[in-house]
Amino acid sequence: MSISFCLIVRNEAKNLEKALRSVEPVADEVIVTDTGSTDDTVETARKFGAKISYFKWCDDFSAARNYNFSQARGDWIFYIDADEEFLPESSDELRRCLSKENVFAWLVLRRDLTDLSRPNLYTEMWLPRLFRNHEDIHFAGRIHEHFQPSLYELAAGRGQIAECSSIRIRHYGYAGTSIKEKLPRGVKLLELELEERPGQLYYQVELYRTLLLAGDNRWQNVLNEAVENLLRFIDDEKSPTPQAALLIETLLQMPENKLPAKITSSQLPEIAQRWFPMSAPLLWVLAKQDYEHNRFESAEAKLRRLIQMGKENSYDKSVGFDPRIIGGEAKLNLAVCLIRQTMLKEATEILESLSKTEEFHLAAEQNLSAIKRIRMGFSPKRPKRR
């Protein structure tokens, strides 16, 4: 079984070599579709023997991807971005996946780095990146593109399945770059998408978040529209979209008098737990709220769950988040909760471990000093949270 690695690019000369070098040992062909580069992107692709095609940019990522896929001749397609790389330890798993006759598509795990100097600090997301080269494969959406029909539907129609693999790619696009440079384009494409296909909750949430990051006051109107849409599904057992978790995370942190109409702060924790019981960001916010209302035992339980999720890699992989909330941040805040409950022995053990790390050394030492004062009988200062 042959495999085509597919990329769409524009001014990616600084990233592309790493991506192409990573797939070179496993690719039967590499298809690079350029959408208007003015740097050395095309020359870099040519140097690695990629098949190069050109697509005139039309404010539509799906259109570019669909054209890119149409150039592939392999039995399977694996698409990556220029700021990603295929991890070599996944080579054997890739070959195993290609040999499975009953599987139409595979989900792979993308490791999202937030700090280039700390490659072991990441979270992982499931993404549908590997699938059979079939004429019905089609992306929709001007940005944050998605398969339509879904790969699961296409698989079922062929008497096959879509499965999770242990293939991993590394994504470093969130590390060391300014996301603000991409915000105006994001707003434009999201508005175009909703103008053409209104009422999509996923895109309403993305537009709200992008406007907020861009400092555009229109975010409030879009948030209200998204909540109005969300309320149509409020009694459902499952969420209408993984992106709803990001909306609920926002709402949980808003004062009651600032919430959009028809939703209250008392509803939100139950919705969060029903739809997203393994969401680390939602659990983090709920733990913070418990702490701020002096519900230390409840906050402790949630923080322990977060730490366990980090150890077991069992968190919800639908959306990305800061990996520290299932690692060092969760441990530090657990120690603070324990101090507030005078459970000093375990708090000391956690803080002594954190004091050996560069990132948490200062906060750990401050809280160890607070424990020392407590044990000496002095009135403690409020423990230091992050």
d(CA 112, CA 215): 25
Give the pair of three-digit tokens for residue 176: 């060391």
pLDDT at 257: 92
Conformation bin of residue 342: beta by default, left when phi > 0, alpha when psi is -120 to 50: left
Alpha helices for the chain (secondary structure H): 13-23, 41-47, 61-70, 91-98, 151-157, 183-196, 201-214, 219-230, 244-252, 268-275, 280-292, 296-312, 328-340, 344-354, 361-375
For the segment 197-232, what is each residue's pLDDT rounded down to a tens digit? 999 999 999 999 999 999 999 999 999 999 999 999
Dihedral angle sign, alpha carbons of residues 245, 250, 251, 252: positive
User: Is residue 23 domain-shared with residue 151, that is, in the same domain?
Assistant: yes
Flag whether 118 is in a domain. yes
In contact, 27 and 54? CB cutoff 8 Å: no
User: Is residue 55 domain-shared with residue 138, that is, in the same domain?
Assistant: yes
Conformation bin of residue 343: beta by default, left when phi > 0, alpha when psi is -120 to 50: beta
State the maximum Cα–Cα separation within the chain, in Å, rounded to a whole number: 75
d(CA 168, CA 82): 15
pLDDT band at 379 (very low <50, low <70, confident <90, very high): low
User: Is residue 215 domain-shared with residue 323, that is, in the same domain?
Assistant: no
User: Is residue 187 domain-shared with residue 161, that is, in the same domain?
Assistant: no
For the segment 46-95, what is each residue's pLDDT rounded down to a tens digit? 999 999 999 999 999 999 999 999 999 999 999 999 999 999 999 999 99
Dihedral angle sign, alpha carbons of residues 105, 282, 314, 234: negative
For the segment 5-38, what is each residue's pLDDT rounded down to a tens digit? 999 999 999 999 999 999 999 999 999 999 999 9
Helix, strand or coil, per DSSP, at residue 95? helix
Flag whether 363 is in a domain. yes
Number of compact structural domains in the chain: 3
The yes-or-no verdict on residue 315 having pLDDT over 90 is yes
Give the pair of three-digit tokens for residue 14: 């600084």
d(CA 276, CA 316): 8
The yes-or-no verdict on residue 385 having pLDDT over 80 is no
User: Is residue 100 domain-shared with residue 211, that is, in the same domain?
Assistant: no
pLDDT band at 176 (very low <50, low <70, confident <90, very high): low
Residue position matching structure tokens 């507030």: 340
Flag whether 156 is in a domain. yes
Give the domain range for residue 257: 179-272
User: Is residue 55 domain-shared with residue 150, that is, in the same domain?
Assistant: yes
pLDDT at 378: 65
User: Is residue 233 domain-shared with residue 92, that is, in the same domain?
Assistant: no
User: Is residue 183 domain-shared with residue 164, that is, in the same domain?
Assistant: no
Indicate the residue among 146, 171, 196 that finishes a domain: 171
CATH number at residue 50: 3.90.550.10
User: Is residue 18 domain-shared with residue 167, that is, in the same domain?
Assistant: yes
- Cα–chain-centroid distance for residue 48? 30
Flag whether 278 is in a domain. no
Flag whether 380 is in a domain. no
Please give the span between the terminal C-alpha atoms of the chain, in angstroms, as a whole number.
51
Flag whether 167 is in a domain. yes
Q: Provide CB contacts within 8 A for 130, sequence distance 6+.
A: 76, 77, 78, 94, 97, 105, 106, 107, 108, 165, 167
The yes-or-no verdict on residue 168 having pLDDT over 90 is yes
Give the pair of three-digit tokens for residue 171: 């994504």
CATH number at residue 355: 1.25.40
Flag whether 216 is in a domain. yes
pLDDT at 386: 67
User: Is residue 97 domain-shared with residue 46, that is, in the same domain?
Assistant: yes
For the segment 258-284, what is each residue's pLDDT rounded down to a tens digit? 999 889 999 999 999 999 999 999 999
In contact, 33 and 51? CB cutoff 8 Å: no
For the segment 327-377, what is each residue's pLDDT rounded down to a tens digit? 999 999 999 999 999 999 999 999 999 999 999 999 999 999 999 999 887
Flag whether 348 is in a domain. yes
